[in-house]
Structure 1
Amino acid sequence: MSGLRKGEILEFEIADIAFGARGVARTENFVWFIDRALPGQRVKARVCRIRKQYGEAVLQEVVREAPDRVAPPCPHFGTCGGCQMQHWAYPSQVAAKTRQVEDILRRIGGFPGVDVRPTLPASEILGYRNKMEFTFSDRRWIPEGEDPEKPADFALGLHVPGRFDKVLDLDACLLQSDRANQIFRHVRELTFRSGLPPYGQKSHDGFWRFLILREGRQTGDLMVNLITSGGFGDAGLEAVNRVAEALRAAFPEITTLVHGITDSKGQVARGESGRILWGSGNIREILYGMEFEVSSDAFFQTNTLQAEVLFDAIAGLSGFQGDEVLYDLYCGTGAIGIALAGRVRRVLGVEAIPSAVANARENAALNRLDNVDFVLADMKDALRDSDFVSTCGRPDVVIIDPPRGGTHPKTIQDLLALGAPRLIYVSCNPPLLARDCQALGERYRLDVVQPVDMFPHTKHIEAVARFTLR
Structure 2
Amino acid sequence: MTGSSQQQSLYQLLYGERYIFEEVLGLKFHISPDAFFQINTAGAEVLYQIVGKLSRADKNTVLLDVCCGTGAIGLCLACQAHKVVGVEVVEQAVEDAKWNATFNGVSNCGYHSGKAETVLLQFLMSREDDRLLVAVVNPFRAGLHYRVVQAIQNCEAIRTLIYVSCKPEREAMRNFLEFCCPPDSGKKLVREPSAPLLAVPVDMFPQTMHCELVILFTR
CA distance in 2, matches of 1:451, 1:349: 24
Equivalent residue, structure 1, for 2:41: 304
Q: What percent identity do the matched residue pairs reach?
A: 35
Give ranges in structure 1 of 5+ residues lacking alignment: 1-265
Normalized per residue, the structure richer in strand is 1
Distance 1:390 1:464, change over 3 A: same
* Contact 2:28–2:100 under 8 Å retained in 1: yes
Structure 1 residue aligned with 2:66: 329
Label 1:457 to 1:440 Cα distance change in 2 as closer, same or farther (>3 A).
same
CA offsets 1:7-60 (integer angstroms, 9 cap, x no match): xxxxxxxxxxxxxxxxxxxxxxxxxxxxxxxxxxxxxxxxxxxxxxxxxxxxxx
Tell me the residue number matched to 2:119: 382
Q: Secondary structure at the match of 1:276?
A: coil
Q: Give 5+ residue unaligned stretches, structure 2.
A: 183-192
> Please, which of 380, 403, 406 is the counterpart of residue 143 of structure 2?
406
Select which of 427, 445, 455 maps to 2:205.
455
In the TM superposition, 1:277-296 aligns within 5 A as 277-296=14-33
Q: Distance in 1 between matches of 2:50 and 2:14?
A: 39
Look at both structures and tell me which one has the larger radius of gyration over its CA atoms: 1
Matching residue within 355, 362, 374 for 2:99: 362
In structure 2, do the counterparts of structure 1 residues 409 and 374 end up closer, same or farther at CA, with 3 Å as the change threshold? same
* 2:175 aligned with 1:425: no
Give the match's secondary structure for 2:152. Answer: helix
1:439 is aligned to 2:178: yes
Cα deviation for residue 461 of structure 1 reads 1.9
Counterpart residue type for residue 458 of structure 1: T
Preserved CA contact (<8 Å) 1:382 1:388 = no
Say if 2:86 is the partner of 1:349: yes
Distance 2:115 2:12 in 1: 29
**Cα 1:460–1:355 shift into 2, 3 Å:** same
- The CA RMSD over aligned residues, in Å, is 2.1
- Structure-2-length-normalised TM-score: 0.85
Write the mapping of 1:74-85 to structure 2, written as runs, cut at 5 A.
Answer: none
Residue by residue, what CA displacement relative to the aligned partner does 1:391-432 show, whole Å, maximum 9, x if unpaired?
Answer: 576552110111111111111111111130111111111123
CA separation of 1:343 and 1:351: change in aligned 2, threshold 3 A? same
* Number of residue-to-residue matches in the alignment: 204
Amino acid at match of 1:437: F
Alignment of 1:147-158 (within 5 A): none
**Aligned residue number for residue 89 of structure 1:** none
- Hey, what does 2:215 align to over in structure 1? 465
By how many angstroms is 1:282 displaced?
1.2
Counterparts of 1:158-197 in structure 2, within 5 Å, are none
Range 290-299 or range 390-399, more displaced:
390-399
Which whole-Å CA distance do the structure 2 matches of 1:303 and 1:387 have between them?
Answer: 33
Q: Read off the aligned partner of 2:210 and give its amino acid letter.
A: H
With over 3 angstroms needed to count, the CA separation of the structure-2 counterparts of 1:267 and 1:298, relative to structure 1, is closer
The answer to whether the 8 A contact 2:142-2:172 is kept is: no
